[in-house]
Structure 1
Amino acid sequence: MNEKELLQIAAKAADDKRAEDMIVLDMKGISLVSDYFIICHGNSDKQVQAIAREMKEKVEEAGFDVRKMEGFDEARWVLVDMGDVVAHIFHKDDRSYYKLERLWGDAPSLTAQELNI
């Protein structure tokens, strides 16, 4: 399995839990941390946690490792580190505050169609 498959599995898991305004940024050559960032949000603490939980479960079922998950209990900004893919799952209010998309605005984005979700 490769990073593209990991990206597809993680993005589909978020989509299955109705993550809103999902953006996937191609961070190759921009970040040393990972190759892809998934940025999305939920409208409640429970939805943010459901998105993160589904992502972790589906990724692990597919044989990939989740290195770390931070912020789950607070459910304001959950970071799911899967190595080549890092997901940022925000509560709607916090996403507009941090504006990660703008911070990494020079990174090309991938569409849901390109990800086959």
Structure 2
Amino acid sequence: MTKLECVVKAMDDKLATHITAIDMRDVSPMFDTFVLCTASNERLMQAITENIKEECAKHNFEVKSIEGLRNSKWILIDLGDIVCHIFEGSERESYNLEKLWGDMPRINVEGMLAK
């Protein structure tokens, strides 16, 4: 299992919606991929975050840092070459990273999601 598959499956397992992966290799020397998802509330954001941590640990992928844990509408998880963004719905719309990085290629994650 790749790190990207691990992250996407961990998000999907906890009912994250609108999971999107953006290939950032051409614009960032720091990371390769953004993975974004939406959660309906703070409790679900926390559950998604915990599941990503647990699944990454199981597969020996290092979580370097996590920001925005309490009373936040946006959690960022740094996995080195992958950066995860877990948003509450209105916050995701407000920042609209998909539009900001609209010219970057998307990575198809459909095959990584539960049917």
2:15 corresponds to 1:18: yes
| Map of 1:111 onto structure 2 | 108
Structure 1 unaligned runs (5+)? none
Structure 1 stretch 16-25 or stretch 29-38: which is displaced more?
A: 29-38
What amino acid does structure 2 have at the position aligned with 1:70? E
TM-score (norm 1): 0.90
Deviations 1:76-101 (A, max 9, x none): 10000000111000011111111011
Contact 2:36 2:86 in 1 (8 A): yes
Once the 2 structures are TM-superposed, how far is the Cα of residue 110 of structure 1 from its aligned partner?
A: 1.4
| Map of 1:72 onto structure 2 | 69
| Map of 2:81 onto structure 1 | 84
SS of alignment partner, residue 21 of structure 1: strand
User: Structure 1 vs Structure 2: percent identity of aligned residues?
Assistant: 35
Structure 2 unaligned runs (5+)? none
2:45 corresponds to 1:48: yes
Alpha-carbon RMSD: 1.3
Residue from 60, 75, 85 that aligns with 2:57: 60
TM-score (norm 2): 0.92
What amino acid does structure 1 have at the position aligned with 2:56? V
Once the 2 structures are TM-superposed, how far is the Cα of residue 11 of structure 1 from its aligned partner?
A: 0.7
Once the 2 structures are TM-superposed, how far is the Cα of residue 29 of structure 1 from its aligned partner?
A: 1.1
Contact 2:56 2:62 in 1 (8 A): yes
Once the 2 structures are TM-superposed, how far is the Cα of residue 14 of structure 1 from its aligned partner?
A: 0.2
Contact 1:48 1:75 in 2 (8 A): no
